[in-house]
Amino acid sequence: MSDAVLKVDDLRTHFRLRAGTLKAVDGLSFELQAGRVLCIVGESGSGKSVTAQSIMRLIMPPGRIVQGGITFRDQDLLALTEREMEDLRGNRIGMIFQDPMTSLNPVFTIGEQIVETIVAHTSLSGEDARARAVELMRLVGIPEPEGRLSDYPHQFSGGMRQRVLIAIAIACEPDILIADEPTTALDVTIQAQILRLLSDVQKKLGSAMILITHDLGVVSAMADEVLVMYSGRMVEYGDVKTIFRNPRHPYTQGLLDSIIKLDDSRESELRSISGLPPIPIDPPPGCAFRDRCVKAFDLCGEQDPPWVETGTGSTAVCHAVAAEEAAP
């Protein structure tokens, strides 16, 4: 596939802690097509946010991208200087973070914070930049944008702040929009509005989007492709319809079993995956999910699971799936 805007190849981001090496992301590969939406799903601590920040090269010591390739169009992002990367961030790749309450600098006005991005990446300045900021604020649905330019973050509600952060992220019409659980910290009623806004601007700009979430409902509503992560590793990856219709990895199956479907008959019970995910500090070889897996067998504790192109169209990383595929 040649129109991929982003290729991630065997990404490994590790944190050297006193307790050992935390393998927050350990062997992740995917491709993002222009104009498409990829959802990365997983529990807390599964490495979703670290993946996003690795792509933006925002990982700080003691964390480090130890291996892998990140290719944006034809540029190897890991080979760029910090300067070149700064030119790219907020310009070609925009990012929206989890917690809007702490994501805006409390001592600068909303206007200053939007204008700053515009000035950093375009030739606009002064009045033009302010006009563009007003236009962006209108686009993300902030009422009376002219009057609110000189307000400070504390004068905005959480939902409004997230709109401002979206405005900042799309200020330069980026090729890729990365949204890291953009609605987690918001009221339920606001969540839907923000997701709709994200979807609208993504379509309007024609950007590709990586949406990180732990909410499978959001995935089914927004995603074209889905990537399931578990304990820093990829578990299953593929087209959203394929995976939702035919999940192959036991973890994905467990996840999908744990959500309530409207057409569920009364007798069917809501199932959950028992246990907790392990923290991947110096993880032993083998599959990270094996202790919670219903299909686990000896091999799972001995060897890292293989990547399997399944007959149903997804990629699963699992010994059990490999065995199923191999069976006649």
Partner 1 sequence: MTRFIVMRLLTIVPIMFGVSFFVFILAHLAPGDVTTTLTGPYATEETREQIRESLGLNEPLPVQYGKWLSHILQGEFGKSIANRRMVAELIFPKFANSAILALTSAAMAYVIGLFAGIFAASRPYGYFDRFTIAGTLMFGSIPPYWFGLLLVLLFSLTWRWLPATGMTKIVGGGGPIDVILHLILPTIAAGAAPAAIIARTVRATMLEILSQNYIKVARAKGIRRGVILRKHALRNALPPIATICGLQLGYLLGGVLFVEVIFAWPGIGYQLWQAIQARDIPTIQGASLIIAVAFVLVNLAVDVFNAYTDPKIRISEGVRSR
Partner 2 sequence: MTDAPSLHGESLRQRSAAELRRENLHIMWRTLTLAWHAYAKDKAAVGALIFLVIVVLIAILAPWISPHDPTEAVGTRGGLPGTDGLVLGGDMDGRDMLSRLFWGGRVSLLIGVVPTVAATAIAVVLGLFAGYVGGWVDQVVMRVLDVFFAFPLVLLAIVIAGILDPGVATLILSITVALVPYISRLVRTTTVSVKQEPYIEAARAGGATTPTILARYVLPNMLAPVIVYSTTLIGLMMVVGSGLSFLGLGIQPPDADWGTMVSDGRAVLKKAPHATAFPGFVIVIVSLAFSFVGDGLRDALDPRARVR
Chain residues that interact with partner 1, rule: CB under 8 A = 53, 56, 58, 61, 82-83, 86-91, 94-95, 97, 99, 102-108, 116-117, 120-121, 148, 151-152, 154-157, 159-160, 165, 168-169
Pick between residue 106 and residue 328 the one whose CB is nearest to partner 1. 106
Question: Smallest distance from the beta carbon of 48 to partner 2, in angstroms?
Answer: 20
Pick between residue 18 and residue 83 the one whose CB is nearest to partner 2. 18
Question: Smallest distance from the beta carbon of 63 to partner 1, in angstroms?
Answer: 12
Pick between residue 151 and residue 173 the one whose CB is nearest to partner 1. 151
Detail the DSSP E strand segments found in 189-273: 208-213, 225-230, 233-239
Pick between residue 175 and residue 236 the one whose CB is nearest to partner 1. 175
Q: Which does 104 bind (CB under 5 to 8 A by kind): partner 1, partner 2, none?
A: partner 1
* Tokens found for residue 134: 């007003």
Question: Smallest distance from the beta carbon of 22 to partner 2, in angstroms?
Answer: 9
Alpha-carbon gap, residue 41 to 258, rounded angstroms? 14
Question: Smallest distance from the beta carbon of 19 to partner 2, in angstroms?
Answer: 6
Alpha-carbon gap, residue 319 to 207, rounded angstroms? 36
Pick between residue 1 and residue 19 the one whose CB is nearest to partner 2. 19
Helix H or strand E segment including 57: none
Question: Smallest distance from the beta carbon of 152 to partner 1, in angstroms?
Answer: 4
Q: Which does 108 bind (CB under 5 to 8 A by kind): partner 2, partner 1, none?
A: partner 1
Sign of the four-CA dihedral 95, 96, 102, 108: positive
3-state class (DSSP) for residue 238: strand
Edge-to-edge, what's the strand order for the sheet holding 225-230? 93-96, 176-180, 208-213, 37-41, 225-230, 233-239, 315-317, 307-309
Residues of this chain, 12-41, that bind partner 2 according to CB under 8 A:
17-19
- Dihedral angle at the C-alpha atoms of 186, 187, 193, 199, nearest 10 degrees? 40
Backbone angles phi, psi at 234, to 5 degrees: -80, 140
Question: Smallest distance from the beta carbon of 27 to partner 1, in angstroms?
Answer: 25
- Binding of residue 276 to partner 2 (CB under 8 A): no
Pick between residue 17 and residue 294 the one whose CB is nearest to partner 2. 17
Alpha-carbon gap, residue 166 to 140, rounded angstroms? 7
Q: Which does 18 bind (CB under 5 to 8 A by kind): partner 2, partner 1, none?
A: partner 2
Pick between residue 20 and residue 206 the one whose CB is nearest to partner 2. 20
The 3-state DSSP composition of the chain as helix, strand, coil percent (nearest 5) reads 35, 25, 40
State the number of CA atoms in the 13 A half-sphere of 208 facing the CB: 21
Question: Smallest distance from the beta carbon of 276 to partner 2, in angstroms?
Answer: 16
3-state class (DSSP) for residue 313: coil
Beta strand pairing status for 93-96 and 176-180? parallel
Question: Smallest distance from the beta carbon of 285 to partner 2, in angstroms?
Answer: 23
Contact positions toward partner 2, by CB under 8 A?
17-19
